[in-house]
Chain A
């Protein structure tokens, strides 16, 4: 079946460090891929998306590239800020059904 696997957390980094959160997926066909973020005390919200192979989604300095050959959609940011502390969820959309990974908690230290 369709599934998403992302790196276990928590991930702790210092401010201005480079961030990578790994995400791989298993799916039939060609799903759309998303990263959602949940800030403390808030609901899930879309961070970025990519709908086909080699697409790059980007928002708020975060980027992720849809890699069909490696079935991956890793999240990256060049210089993290304390305000990026949150839980990040990788997700896929296949046949209108959105499947989420378990989430990766990110702590950024000032």
Chain B
């Protein structure tokens, strides 16, 4: 068990470009979450999946954001036409089946839009 893995760890992009991040959860974890964290703030919920189904999407997530988990394993988060306000740490977490189980977080992808 290698933990939740996120790739890349850092991404610098020009405004207007598209970016895609990948998250590999712990195997057998059926739930996968995406959060965004800015400096001095707590993680803000973006979206989550149970297996391959996207069950909830935050109102924070504009139409430029899309997430997928095609086979119920890894997930991708894409941001189209990036803006400077998208600069943040993007965190992925996974949870095993069952109520009140622990969410395991990856190290995050730090996005800087210049």
Instruction: Check if B23 is an interface residue, CB within 8 A of chain A.
Output: no
Instruction: Check if B28 is an interface residue, CB within 8 A of chain A.
Output: no
Partner of B42, one of A42, A43, A45, A89: A89
Q: Report yes or no: B100 in contact with A97, Cβ–Cβ below 8 A.
A: no
Specify which chain A residues have a CB less than 8 angstroms from the CB of B21 in the assembled complex. none
Given A43-B106, A44-B91, A44-B105, A102–B100 Cβ distance below 8 Å? no
Instruction: Check if B33 is an interface residue, CB within 8 A of chain A.
Output: yes
Q: Report yes or no: A45 in contact with B48, Cβ–Cβ below 8 A.
A: no
Task: State the CA gap A3–B50 with chains docked (Å).
Answer: 22
Specify which chain A residues have a CB less than 8 angstroms from the CB of B102 in the assembled complex. 46, 49
Instruction: Check if A58 is an interface residue, CB within 8 A of chain B.
Output: no
List residues of B (65-114) whose CB comes within 8 Å of A's CBs: 91, 93, 99-100, 102-108
Task: State the CA gap A45–B35 with chains docked (Å).
Answer: 14
Specify which chain B residues have a CB less than 8 angstroms from the CB of A22 in the assembled complex. none
Interface size class of B (residues with CB under 8 A): 20 to 34
Closest residue of chain B to A50, judged by CB? Answer: B100
Give how many A residues have a beta carbon under 8 Å from the other chain's beta carbons: 20
Partner of A43, one of B33, B44, B45, B105: B105
Report B1 CB to chain A, min CB distance, Å: 14
Closest residue of chain A to B31, judged by CB? Answer: A96
Instruction: Check if A93 is an interface residue, CB within 8 A of chain B.
Output: yes
Q: Report yes or no: B42 in contact with A97, Cβ–Cβ below 8 A.
A: no
Given A43-B106, A97-B48, A102–B42 Cβ distance below 8 Å? yes
Q: Report yes or no: B108 in contact with A103, Cβ–Cβ below 8 A.
A: no
Q: Report yes or no: B55 in contact with A96, Cβ–Cβ below 8 A.
A: yes
Given A44-B91, A44-B105, A103-B41, A98–B100 Cβ distance below 8 Å? no
11 A-B pairs with C-beta separation under 8 A: A43-B106, A43-B108, A46-B102, A51-B99, A89-B42, A97-B45, A97-B48, A97-B56, A100-B35, A100-B42, A101-B42
